[in-house]
Structure 1
């Protein structure tokens, strides 16, 4: 399991011809590495920023720009594996200014389900988890919201939700059981959708 610190996949030294640097959210590291391995994309090198940046989305665009400055020399192309992710368009503006491609959509829940499908079916009363968030639920949901210390706040945070939707990237019964347990902790109904990698694979093909 990749750590939440910045993570780099060591590949061949960039030659300036044909190699692509992926600057990605750490929450996508496992899935990106799986796609690289499955497709034999040896020309892609991965550098991940801490997934916890999602709790401070105003820091994502500056972190991406800093990573480009620190690691981007010698690559034929740099592709940013984030959607907007709560930056209010700032990440898209940064990528446009720097001449970088990025993933389309508002967030990973949309591109895992398919951006067009999510736009039609995404429900405001649903709370979404991915494989990563199922594994890291305490670190990224329970503790940051203070529910480990003040469980009485659960109704304030989740009272308007009806269902926890688990967007499963992998068909893993253990993760499904864990996701169902998280739904019970939150007092929500449970739905599992086997999305696979959704639009993420298509975005990496473009990269």
Structure 2
């Protein structure tokens, strides 16, 4: 029986998801799938994301059979979806990576249980100082901590790949914010179905 060759695919991803994408690609042996990333720090400047993705699409469209976008709305206020509609490109469902890592239903339950939840992923734990402390200038103005985090009640660490060292770093991050830590293991199942080759779907 002849096997259909998977379509050559480019995934345009947030830099914060690069490690997780590569783990899924390697585990599945998807040699036909490539990735290009936009800077993770753009989450602090979401207005850059739509045009950045448009440029990536147009620069690579002729080289691939399919382009996918591994981004939530990520604070663009719907502008990213407008760009993707114009360009005819699909993105993963969900407003942000917390939702598609945990699964929409699980994430919604977490929010209903405690709306004052600050979420961390593996990436954010690794880069907590850069993206949270320095990103919010708390290293220079620590007195702003209550203003930013006074309404939060807990930190939820959404774990993609179990790692005791990361759990310790997450605990230290939560302590720095003065909040209790809870841990929920998501794995990578939230992104794998979206990345699965269309021609190879079972």
TM-score by length of structure 2 reads: 0.91
Aligned to 2:73: 84
Q: Deviations over 1:151-190 (max 9, x none)?
A: 1111110000011110010110000000000000000011
Aligned to 1:64: 53
* Equivalent position to 1:44, from 30, 33, 43: 33
Residue 206 of structure 1, CA deviation: 5.8
Asked if the contact 1:115–1:199 (Cα under 8 Å) also holds between the matched residues in 2, the reply is no
Residue 199 of structure 1, CA deviation: 1.6
Residue 70 of structure 1, CA deviation: 1.7
> 5+ residue gaps in structure 2?
1-5
Aligned to 2:3: none
Distance 1:162 1:114 in 2: 22
Distance 1:23 1:163 in 2: 32
**RCO higher in structure (CA 8 A, sep ≥6):** 2
Q: Does 1:158 align with 2:149?
A: yes
Q: For 1:165, what is the secondary structure of its paired residue?
A: strand
Structure 1 runs (4+) greater than 6 angstroms displaced: none
Distance 2:38 2:181 in 1: 30
Q: Deviations over 1:78-125 (max 9, x none)?
A: 001101111111111111111101010110000110012212322321
Aligned to 2:14: 25
Aligned to 1:185: 176
> 5+ residue gaps in structure 1?
1-16
Q: For 2:73, what is the secondary structure of its paired residue?
A: coil
After TM superposition, the structure 1 = structure 2 runs for residues 122-133 of structure 1, keeping only pairs within 5 Å, are 122=111, 123-133=114-124
Asked if the contact 1:164–1:189 (Cα under 8 Å) also holds between the matched residues in 2, the reply is yes
Distance 2:30 2:173 in 1: 35
TM-score by length of structure 1 reads: 0.89
Give the total of aligned pairs.
Answer: 191
Asked if the contact 2:9–2:32 (Cα under 8 Å) also holds between the matched residues in 1, the reply is yes
- Aligned Cα root-mean-square deviation (Å): 1.2
